[in-house]
Amino acid sequence: MIIRRNLIRGIGASLIGLSTYNILKPASAAKSYKIEEENICNSDDFVVNHEPINDVTETQLAAVDDVVHMLNVGPNGSRFRYDPMLSEIDVGGKILWKATTKGHNVEFMVAPNDIKYKSKMHKSAGYTFTTPGIYTYKCTPHVSAGMIGVVVVGNDLSNITEAMDNVAYYGQAKDLIQEILERFYVR
């Protein structure tokens, strides 16, 4: 009887101690955590986190000029879209493609000076645009479903003919890219 009572007291004390530790541990960790501001757009293989939702901090969001969400369902109910599909920024501007839902990436199709960029799947990605011109990009697995976007940097339209006539557009992307670019150029 005494052994059983001591065993129950010991287990109870252990549970109380463990609960106290779990409560105090995050508080002590928070005191030592230091937030450092970083340029999220400097790396070609930018990865914030492996989680597709809430993988970008408020500091990182504040460091960009535009945020483009990668979505399975677009704002008007269309499947596989970037939102917004068109971004206009100054030279040196930064865009963050936020991995709002899984299954997407960003890959340049047309860019001034044939600049190449391809992000990893399921990851948020950032890019700093230092060369003016028109950039068109796609989600590699969903381009035929129309998951494309356009960035106009520095209001430079010098490569618009290449952007409009690229043979890499197919499926719904072909019509959508024409619709977006016709805003800037009428043949």
| Full pLDDT tens readout for the chain, 187 residues | 677 776 677 676 666 665 665 665 554 444 443 334 334 444 433 333 333 445 666 777 778 899 999 999 888 888 899 999 999 999 999 999 999 888 999 999 999 999 999 999 998 999 999 999 999 999 999 999 999 999 999 999 999 999 998 888 989 999 999 999 988 765 4
The residue type found at 59 is: T
The predicted pLDDT at position 47 comes to 37
Work out the number of other CB atoms within 10 angstroms of the CB of residue 103. Answer: 15
Strand partners, 73: 79
Token couple for 101: 């839902």
Q: Where are the beta strands (DSSP E) in 33-111?
A: 66-73, 79-83, 86-89, 93-98, 107-110
| Greatest C-alpha distance within the chain | 95
CA pair distance 138, 32, nearest whole angstrom? 41
The predicted pLDDT at position 183 comes to 82
**Residues 122, 72: contact at Cβ < 8 Å?**
no
Token couple for 130: 């230092």
The predicted pLDDT at position 101 comes to 87
Q: Is 73 helix (H, G, I), strand (E, B) or coil?
A: strand
Per residue in 114-142, is it b (16+ CB within 10 Å) or e — as a string? eeeeebeebbbbbbbbeebbbbbbbbeeb
Token couple for 135: 């950039």
**Residues 51, 30: contact at Cβ < 8 Å?**
no
CA pair distance 142, 164, nearest whole angstrom? 19
**Residues 184, 160: contact at Cβ < 8 Å?**
yes
Output the pTM of the full model. Answer: 0.69
The residue type found at 102 is: K
